[in-house]
Amino acid sequence: MRKNIVAGNWKMNTTVEEGIELADQINSRLEGKEKNCEVVICVPFTHLTSVNAVIDKDLMGLGAENCSEHEKGAYTGEVSAAMVKSTGASHVILGHSERRQYFGETNEQLLAKTQKALEHGLTPIFCVGEVLEERENGTFNDVVASQVEALFSLSPEAFSKIVIAYEPVWAIGTGKTATADQAEDMHAHIRKVIEDKYGKEIADNTSILYGGSCKPSNAKELFAKPDVDGGLIGGAALDADSFMGIIEAFD
Ligand code: PEP
């Protein structure tokens, strides 16, 4: 059966020293705690090795926020999936709306990144989501379906290793959350799109996380929905108390 997951996305925040402290705080709070979800923290590339050294991998996973679609070579400034894996990381966020919007990442590129991540044993947390205009003009279901379908050349075995994060772009960092019903409707839609391609078993086993101004005060209502399997958390993941509050929404 699919897993419940709470994953933090630190984005371009914290120095290495601050990141170690935050990871350490989260780690201490998870020690001896019964939790009903998997926890992952996705941190800047510069932090991976040092954060890996202070966390207990039985308590939480570690992820990067991106990786290259290339294996290796003359790509100055890029970081490969093999490099990410070699830090001890287990996950990688791909296709975050900020990468699509500010860095022009395309569906084709994201498929190649996903393939590289999988080849190197990383679990992709693959983000999809519509912008405000698409929400308002009613095309949001088609937009999100086509983002998911960009991965449909993957084999069933490969696809079954992916975690999907639905993040309506209008809700990211805006304080404006999708209602639990809006989230549920989209998650059920995504699951149906997956089912139509890969069948019910893979669709039922795919974890679909919600992201977009998720916080301790709204996480319980969102996570109570049958197709919402946890959250990808931005701002609220930068504070150990609020991140723990979201993890505890599964208690
Ligand atoms: C995110 O960037 O993945 C995110 C969901 O951000 P926030 O929680 O701050 O809206």
Residue nearest ligand 1's atom 7 by CA: 234
Span from the CA of 172 to the centroid of ligand 1 (angstroms): 5
pLDDT of residue 182: 97
What is the tens place of the pLDDT at every residue in 111-169? 999 999 999 999 999 999 999 999 999 999 999 999 999 999 999 999 999 999 999 99
Amino acid at 202: I
Q: CA geometry: angle at 185 spanning 248 and 190, to 5°?
A: 90
Average pLDDT, the chain: 97
pLDDT tens column, 74-101: 999 999 999 999 999 999 999 999 999 9
Q: Given the structure tokens 């693959």, which residue do they identify? A: 126
Mean pLDDT within 52-71:
98
Q: Taking phi first (over 0 means left), then psi (-120 to 50 degrees means alpha), and beta for anything else, what does residue 11 get?
A: left
DSSP category for residue 250 = G
Nearest atom in ligand 1 to the alpha carbon of residue 11 is: 2
| Residue closest by Cα to atom 1 of ligand 1 | 234
Amino acid at 193: V
Distance 213 CA to ligand 1 centre (A): 6
Q: How far is the CA of 168 from the centre of ligand 1 (A)?
A: 10
Q: Which residues line ligand 1 (CB under 6 A)?
A: 9, 167, 172-173, 211-214, 232-236
Please report which confidence band the pLDDT of residue 207 belongs to, taking 50, 70 and 90 as the band edges: very high
Which atom of ligand 1 lies nearest, measured to the CA of 214? Answer: 8
The answer to whether residues 152 and 197 touch, using CB atoms and an 8 Å cutoff, is yes
**C-alpha 102 to ligand 1 mean position (Å):** 15
For the cut 90, the answer to whether the pLDDT of residue 174 exceeds it is: no
| Closest among 109, 121, 140, 147 to 61, alpha carbons compared | 121
Global confidence as pTM: 0.98
Whole-number Å distance, alpha carbon 73 to ligand 1 midpoint, is: 32
Q: Catalytic residue numbers? A: 96, 167
- Taking a C-beta distance cutoff of 8 angstroms, is the pair 107, 145 a contact? no
What per-residue confidence (pLDDT) applies to 57? 96
pLDDT band at 175; cut points 50, 70, 90: confident
Residue type at 144 in one-letter notation: V
Specify the pLDDT at position 17. Answer: 98
Read out DSSP for 35-46? -SSEEEEE--GG
Which helix (H) or strand (E) is 192 found in, with range? helix 180-198
Candidate of 41, 91, 101, 233 to mutate for ligand 1, largest count of ligand atoms within 8 Å of Cβ: 233
Residue owning the nearest CA to atom 6 of ligand 1: 234
